[in-house]
Structure 1
Amino acid sequence: MSDLQQTLDQLRAALGDAQVLTGEAIGQRHYSDWTGHAPACAAALLLPRTTEQVSIALRICNDAGQSVVPQGGMTGLAGGAIPTTADIALSVERLHGIEEIDAAAATISVWAGTTLQEIQQAASGAGFLFPLDLGARGSCQIGGNIATNAGGNAVIRYGMTRELVLGLEVVLADGRVLNLMNKMIKNNCGYDLKQCFIGSEGTLGVITRAVLKLAPQPGETTTLLCALPDYASAVSLLRRVQRDVGTPQAYELMWQDFFRMGVSWLENPVAPMPDEYPLYVLLECAGSRQALEQTVEAAMQAGEVADAILAASHTQARALWKIREATGEFPVRLAPLNFDISLPIGQIGDFAQMCRQRLDQRWPGNHSVYFGHIGDSNLHLTVDCNSLPQPAPILEIEELVYTAVGELGGAVSAEHGIGLLKREFLHHSVSAEALAVMRQLKASFDPKGILNPGKILG
């Protein structure tokens, strides 16, 4: 009997046959994430229902030296949950549900397999807001959001997932359970261990439960689209709005090529304002509409804003957002090579110009678009591989972009993690000394290296 078969027999005896699937019983959605990169059917798929079952499963696998790939909603964009045929995948999808909403503490305690949308709806029903928001809200699971330190549109106001997590329950590689389910904002008792697991992409432990911070409902919001003369004006307008109205719920910058493309993909492709300006910003504020109008008027007088539209209704606001949400159609209309990077806010404009010039010099006629949540230093760049020589030189483009990111002191991943797809470029943003410490941390939590091997550090 093979070592793998012995391990599977132990897992079935401990968890039950229904919790250990193999072969065709494993659904294809567990083969790869939303990138579609290197799909593979794992040697087995574990579907534990309790923290204790996760603990037992990891202890059995650790004793056998069997690699385990934790999985959530499989909506990732960096290959962080993709197994190989030699791995056992462990899905947290059956660790599901809302445990408690504590109105006094303004917290919600949830299981890792609960979708983001379910958490948002539960919070709303209790009169609160859970501000993390992603396009994949109906499919992504909070365990994966935490494991990748997910971002989204509202980071400028509420911070990354890291800022929204007060407590965790985590199962280590050897099966030990860390109960870090804290509800307190102030808790200064030694090392903040939960931070080790947020953004670790399942390489240090498996998150099973979480305590999350809730925010007050923002009340009525105003949506505003502005045309801008240059990148410096985008930064000036942001600071003006923050000073005079308050930090916006969202601040989405679109370069001209992205704006034109987004408009052209609308059902009624008519631009809400002339498309001749270099940049456009879509922002959403929960402060006074009158104060926002006055702020925009002052910005126009200062030359920071060339044109502006304040949405007069929810319908008009949604119509403006549809331009920014053109990204949802990238997989259908383009052959997208997507970059999720961050840079010091003052240098994002310079980076976009430099990167575009280098791409044009190397591949004349290429089509690339730039957009992002610049208030939290995040820029997205998408290159349409249909506009490149075939087969598209993917690695060359990645090296060009990530080298430019490193030159300006940026990060090769802003909100999607490292996974498989960015690990070879991590050195552009992380020093050799820091990488060595990361490897030490991995060895401390997972001495046998069974958890998500090959991800982040290779």
Structure 2
Amino acid sequence: MHIATELKAFLGDSAVLDADALATRSAGYLRPDNLQAAALARPSNTSQVAELLRWCHRHDVSVVTQGGLTGLVHGADAAADQIILSLERMCAIEYIDTRQRCVTVQAGVVLQTLQESLEEHHLMFPLDLGARGSATVGGNAATNAGGNRVIRYGMMRDMVLGLEAVLADGTVISSMNNLLKNNAGYDLKQLFIGSEGTLGVITRLVLRLREAPGTRNMGLVALEDFDTVTRLLRFMDHRLAGTLSAFEAMWQDFYRLVTTAPAQGWPPISPNYPYYVLLECQGADPELDSQRFNSALEDAFEAGLLADAAVSQSESDCQRFWALRDDVGQTFHGGLPFVFDISLPITEMERYIDGLRASLAEAIGEHKLWVFGHLGDGNLHVIVQVPGDISGSQRPQVETVVYEPLAAFRGSISAEHGIGLEKKPWLGISRSDAEVALMRSLRQTLDPRGILNPGKIF
């Protein structure tokens, strides 16, 4: 059976790429290799997705769903005998409901495209992340993306009112609810959010929107110790009365990296402090919001919380502040980086990072460690770089050092990127045997033949 030929018979020639055509397509963000699969299918609507999955179910062919390919855990990797289901053609913004403040979209809509389309309506979809120009909303839902403003707006699952998904046998589950309150039975959409394409293929969504903020005030502040970082979080959240939208922390090494050549960023404040925090406050009144933000920072100075600070004077300043935090690409120069996305109680972060530094030095010797992240919601990004002449064979050692201590802190091996293939061996750090058993039971019930993204998560 020639799979690509079979698929073209009911999807159309232009909707299917064979293995040779795939050789020209990138495998995604930070992946230099090309895609591999028996075929790549690009359906245009839910009916075609359902027809494709019915065919795959009938012929026992595995399917890997792909969005913007911005994940970091190999959750969308496919094998040579599998089909890739790409939602790139399902990219319509179907309806913006300005009164209900929600939007109906196909799963292949790119996050930034959605954000920009809402501007003329003075509405906002608050999810935001560095890969906004490539990541799709379907992928955001399938991985329960977090991003920069979780502290105020929550994770992706907090922004999804309803969705439509296709099960492994082609059954369409349409739960396109647009109500904030709907307790009529089980909330089925939550089964698919964060399931990484293993329980069904998300095809359409109803997303909750917010009024677009009219103002944005930002500050980049330096702090002398980590205890002060945690105190500043509560202080600013209280003083800003719920308008604090981001609280991003950068350890000194990372701040120096992104403010020193060859990086393009400039150092708004001295690079000689141990901790830096990027604060963002969104509001509606330019004069009053600015006064309140500046007053809160002045009071923080008087309380001994801040060692130094730079405050935005324009939207351009805000963009430059965020550019520093988002310049993660600097960590990929001069060596082989191992990227980790973890979560743990804020009160334990300093102890965890101190222990990590010591353990890495003992386990692998020469390395660089960069730490930064969405500290306001307990999420840290840890990047360990080893010399470029050392192969990736050191990764298992580094994973052990990074993940094993999280058990004692009741932390998570994955804050916002999922499990995929990469974190499978460590799932037991964050989930009990009973939880994993229930996950397996759900998967077996919805996909008894195991054709949806096989081998991922567990």
Instruction: State the TM-score bracket (shorter-chain normalisation).
Output: over 0.9
What secondary structure is seen at the aligned counterpart in 2 of 1:93? coil
Compared CA separation, residues 422 and 177, structure 1 to 2 (3 A): same
What residue ranges of structure 2 are gaps of 5+ in the alignment? 284-288
Structure 1 residues 128-277: aligned runs within 5 Å: 128-245=123-240, 246-265=242-261, 271-277=267-273
Structure 1 range deviating more: 299-308 or 128-137: 299-308
Matching residue within 37, 42, 59 for 1:42: 37
- The 5-angstrom pairing of residues 348-367 of structure 1 reads 348-367=349-368
Alignment correspondent of 1:63: 58
Give per-residue Cα distances to partners, 1:301-330, cap 9 Å, x unaligned: 222211111122233333333322220333
How big is the shift at 1:390? 4.9
Q: After the TM superposition, which of the residue ranges 32-41 and 414-423 deviates more from structure 2?
A: 32-41
Q: How does 1:397-416 map to 2 (within 5 A)?
A: 397-416=398-417
User: Following superposition of structure 1 onto structure 2, how do residues 284-303 of structure 1 map, counting pairs within 5 Å?
Assistant: 284-287=280-283, 288-303=289-304
What is the one-letter code of the residue matched to 1:103? Answer: T
Compare 56-65 and 118-127 and name the one that shifted more: 118-127
**Percent of aligned pairs with the same amino acid:** 44
Aligned equivalents of 1:38, 1:357: Cα separation in 2? 34
One-letter code aligned to 2:256: R
Q: Residue 110 of structure 2 corresponds to which residue in structure 1?
A: 115
Q: Distance in 2 between matches of 1:267 and 1:141?
A: 28
User: CA contact under 8 A between 2:23 and 2:35: conserved in structure 1?
Assistant: no
CA distance in 2, matches of 1:255, 1:57: 48
Counterpart CA distance in 2 for 1:264 and 1:293 is 28
> Which residue does the alignment assign to 2:13?
17
CA shift, 1:38, in A, is: 7.2
Mapped to 2, the partners of 1:126 and 1:138 lie a distance apart of 20
SS in structure 1 of the partner of residue 271 of structure 2? coil
What displacement does 1:115 show? 0.6
What's the offset of the Cα at 1:35?
4.1
Counterpart of 2:310 in 1: which secondary structure?
strand
Residue type at the aligned position of 1:250: A
What is the 5 A alignment of 1:86-101?
86-101=81-96
Amino acid paired to 1:283 = L
Q: Secondary structure at the match of 1:69?
A: strand
What is the CA RMSD across the aligned residues, in angstroms?
1.9
CA distance in 1, matches of 2:88, 2:265: 40
Paired residues of 2:222 and 2:277 also in contact (CA < 8 A):
yes
Q: Is 2:366–2:386's contact at 8 Å kept on the other side of the alignment?
A: no
CA deviation vs aligned residue, 1:276-296 (integer Å, no higher than 9, x gap): 211000111125222222222
Deviation at 1:420, TM superposition (A): 1.1
Contact persistence 1:37–1:79 (CA under 8 A) = no
Cα distance change of structure 1 residues 124 and 333 upon mapping to structure 2, 3 Å threshold: farther
* Aligned residue pair count: 452
What does residue 279 of structure 1 align with? 275
CA contact (8 A) 2:40 2:86 kept: yes
TM-score (norm 1): 0.94
SS in 1 for 2:129: coil
Q: Would you say the 8 A contact 1:249–1:285 is kept in 2?
A: yes
What is the rounded CA distance, in whole Å, between the counterparts of 1:28 and 1:344 in structure 2? Answer: 44
Q: SS at 1:29's partner residue? A: coil
Instruction: Give the alignment of 1:417-436 within 5 angstroms.
Output: 417-436=418-437
Secondary structure of the residue that 2:403 maps to in structure 1?
A: helix
Equivalent residue, structure 1, for 2:317: 316
| Distance apart, 1:268 and its partner CA | 6.5
CA contact (8 A) 2:219 2:310 kept: yes
Instruction: Read off the aligned partner of 1:286 and give its amino acid letter.
Output: Q
1:439 aligns with 440
Q: Mapping of 1:70-85 within 5 angstroms?
A: 70-85=65-80
Structure 1 window deviating more from structure 2 (341-350 vs 270-279): it is 270-279
SS at match of 1:237: helix
Task: Please state whether the residue corresponding to 1:221 is helix, strand or coil.
Answer: strand
Distance 1:380 1:310 in 2: 25
- CA deviation map 1:21-57 (0-9, x unaligned): 2122225436x33242875410011111111110011
- Distance, in Å, in 2 between the alignment partners of 1:37 and 1:319 is 29
* TM-score, with structure 2 as normaliser: 0.94
Bigger shift: 240-249 or 60-69? 240-249
